[in-house]
Structure 1
Amino acid sequence: MRCGFLTFVLILLVGVSCETEDEDIFVPSHEWKEIKQGQKIPAGLHIRVNLQTGKKEARLPDEINNKKQALVATEEQNEETFQHQIPLIELEETLKKIKNDAKQDSSEKLKTKYRSYDELKRELGTLKLTPKLDSEIIRDLIDDYKIEVGGSKNSTRIKNILEDLEYLSHQIDNAIDFVNQNGFKDVVYNSLNETDSVIKVLSLRLMGSLMQNNPKVQIHGLETGCIREILKILTLEKQVGVKYQAVGALSAVLRRFPLAQKQFVENGGLSVISKVFEDKNTK
């Protein structure tokens, strides 16, 4: 009697255990089916959340038709991503080859797209467009000035030359090049003797730019008599604009130059300046 009772209890427990184990594993189908809490989900199923009920549902993939599915629940799946590994040395050699090929392609494209320096130099040489140094430009301008003054005396061309020289003279090295090419005598002082007041103004402006904060040019101007020329203009010139530029040139040669200041005083510069300021036309 007791043995039969124990057998019955054992059968009952095994049945409950099997039923519980079956309930813990989700059995999928081709229709969306609710996943109960605590159930294990086999791999490879489509899973979604039903927005109406808020519960998870799962079903078999569409491409699987009437095939038996292994109802094996796995907590983790460790799949190998790479079945074949490329040796490191072989990989490095491949990368080097790719880089070298890219460099060669890039250099070939640059060669076809842009011309070399020698080619450009030859073409510019045929067009006579070789770039010039500032000293060469100054020399050409001085030569052009001499041609204009000794020939047709085209006042417009002379004014343009003086403006170009004044622009270049703001650089200290260019101003020294102008002095070394005898520009004061051939251009500046020669222009001060012209009757055109605009040419005189441009010449005085050029003189001031040359000597501005340039001790070497200040010394050259003093030695070649620029103070006497400026005082003569301030004394004899009637045009106010010319006198105004003469005062500017005078300030450029006197600034921080005691020897020039001494010569200015010795040549009666103080009395000349006082008369300029007393003149009603200059007020």
Structure 2
Amino acid sequence: MRPVLVRSWTVILFVASVVTAIEPSATEQAQTETEVICPSDGGQCYPAVFEATDRWQEVLPDQAIPGGLHVRLNFESGRRQAKLLSNDDSEDNVGVVVVSEGGSAEVTNDEQSVAVEPDVWGQSSYSHKPNPHISLSEHEEFENNLAFIISSFNFERTEAEPKKDDGPLGSSALQSVESNLDADEHELLIAAMRNIEDFSHEIDFGIKLAVPEVISVFMTLVNTHSSPSVRALSARIIGSSLRNNEPALQIAVTSQVVSNLLESLDQEQDPEVRSRIMFALASSIHGKYGRREFWEHKGGDILRNYFFSVIPDEDYMGRCGTLVEDSFVNDMMNSHSSNSPSDTTQSELKVELGLWCSAFQDALANDNIASMDVREKIFSALSAMKLSYPTYCPIQDNFRQWIALKVEQRTALRRQKHEAQEALSSSLSAVDGQRSDLDNTPGQEMVFLDKLSTVRHTLFGNPKAGRKALDNYHDEL
């Protein structure tokens, strides 16, 4: 397997320290204490076992690290550093994020300290106790893969930098830098990013990825890299690190993740990458800061640009439905029920939900969405809006006509099956010939038609008319 080489770069970040927990046996220690490592290039030999002090020192290549030390990765050199444990060192240390009005935010965890720009939106704090079950090898693998990604990113930026007379570096220059990596290096970059994506679901690693110096790398890759695979993986890493991770969301507050993702979405042409950006956006928009940023940057208008595209992207349309339902209906209702202050005025919410209400009704009424799953997501979002904010979601004539047509279709199918069952019960010879259209209707679609029939009048029309229609249906059977 080709080794991962870490180039140097300008960003300096010490990730959270970890404690080695495995003590070598007395025999192993005696064998290695007398051994030395001599570099093949003729450099000076050094002990095979790292000799720790109470200060951070660099661990030289191939040196063994005794148990019971603090170990961290220096992202500037790409090498590990270690030192003896002090009285203040403990695996039970709690990382704390504090953001104050007009002040600064600091992420602390033992030796980790990351400065963050002032939070202009208010004050919040969050504490997190690191997971002690994450092994040292997992921390090292995470750090090595992340270091390789950042070094590749900075190498590409350096190679793409214009000469002094060429003006500032723009996105067009970055979009052509993939050629600076050969095929093997590009594959290594993809492999490293997939490994980081696997790690990003863990809260502790998500917190490390949310640090401004790190998340900005992935946001830039989403926005400018020439490879769709790199852009898609970068978006997935952002989304996975922030999803259901309140500490990471708090740390990422000042990085303007939502506005950067909206910018990427607005210019992205690849459907697969757009889907991944939607996932990242849905993960980052939760909470009052994310929603406010979404509103301030006209996020709804950007999302609807592709929702109404000439060639519909059904996966994207379904993701819009899920995002609106989760982030602007359910999440807002939960905020109100917990007596949390609303970050969005009722007038803003009314306008935004009204636009989506109209968009979802038009999408369903056109009756050209092939995916039943996408239809379910859009109808679910529409129903949630109408149920939670009925006055914000007026029902259109084209949607009433569509739902009436679907309910009539359902009634006809049910009647056919009822008649077929009666014929079968009176004549056994009809077993092979009597089949209704309902038998050829997919089960998921029939469930969808049943749902439309149930809520047609109670949610989208007159409840009294709904009871009458239900009575007529039973009379027909």
Return the TM-score normalized by structure 1. 0.52
Change (3 A) 1:135 1:181: farther
1:143 maps to 147
Alignment of 1:38-53 (within 5 A): none
Secondary structure (helix, strand or coil) at the match of 2:136 reads coil
Sort the Cα spacing of 1:230 and 1:178 in 2 relative to 1 into closer, same or farther, 3 A.
closer
| Conservation of the 8 A alpha-carbon contact between 1:139 and 1:181 | no
Runs of 5+ in structure 1 lacking a partner?
Answer: 1-115
> How far, CA to CA, are the matches of 2:188 and 2:269 in structure 1?
25
Cα gap change, 1:197 to 1:121, in 2 (>3 Å): farther
Alignment of 1:249 with 2:280, yes or no, is yes
- Superposition deviation, residue 121 in structure 1: 5.7
Are 2:264 and 1:233 aligned?
yes
1:132 corresponds in structure 2 to 136
**Partner residue, 1:280:** 310
| Structure 1 residue aligned with 2:437 | none
Structure 2 unaligned spans of 5+: 1-22, 33-47, 50-61, 66-134, 157-179, 315-477
Identity %: 14
1:280 & 1:233 partners in 2: Cα distance? 20
State the alpha-carbon separation in 1 of the partners of residues 298 and 269 from structure 2. Answer: 19
2:248 is equivalent to residue 217 of structure 1: yes
Q: 1:181 to 1:267 in 2, by over 3 A?
A: closer
Please name the residue that 2:319 is paired with: none
Match of 1:209, SS state, is: helix
Say which of 191, 199, 204 aligns to 1:173.
204
Identify the residue that residue 294 of structure 2 maps to in structure 1: 264
Alignment of 1:90-101 (within 5 A): none
Q: Secondary structure at the match of 2:244?
A: coil
- Structural RMSD (CA): 2.8
Distance in 2 of aligned mates of 1:220 and 1:226 = 11
Mapped contact 2:211–2:252 kept (Cα < 8 A): no
Asked if 1 retains the 8 angstrom alpha-carbon contact of 2:207 and 2:251, the reply is no
| Residue identity in the other structure for 2:149 | Y
User: Quick one: structure 1 residues 231 and 262, their matched pair in 2 at CA, closer, same or farther if it must change by over 3 Å?
Assistant: same
Give the residue type in structure 1 aligned to 2:271.
V
1:190 to 220, 236, 248: 220
Cα 1:162–1:118 change in 2 (3 A) is: same
Whole-angstrom CA distance in 1 between matches of 2:215 and 2:303: 24
How far 1:222 moved relative to its partner?
3.4
Distance 1:271 1:156, change over 3 A: same
Q: CA deviation at 1:260?
A: 1.0
Alignment check: 8 A CA contact 1:141 1:165 kept: yes
Change (3 A) 1:180 1:249: closer
- Which structure's relative contact order is higher, taking Cα pairs within 8 Å and 6+ residues apart? 1
User: Cα 1:120–1:206, aligned 2, differ >3 Å: closer, same or farther?
Assistant: farther
Highest Rg: 1 or 2? 1
Query: Which is richer in strand?
Result: 2
Distance 1:129 1:145, change over 3 A: farther
Find the partner of 1:200 among 220, 223, 231.
Answer: 231
Label 1:221 to 1:180 Cα distance change in 2 as closer, same or farther (>3 A): closer
Cross-structure match for 1:69: none
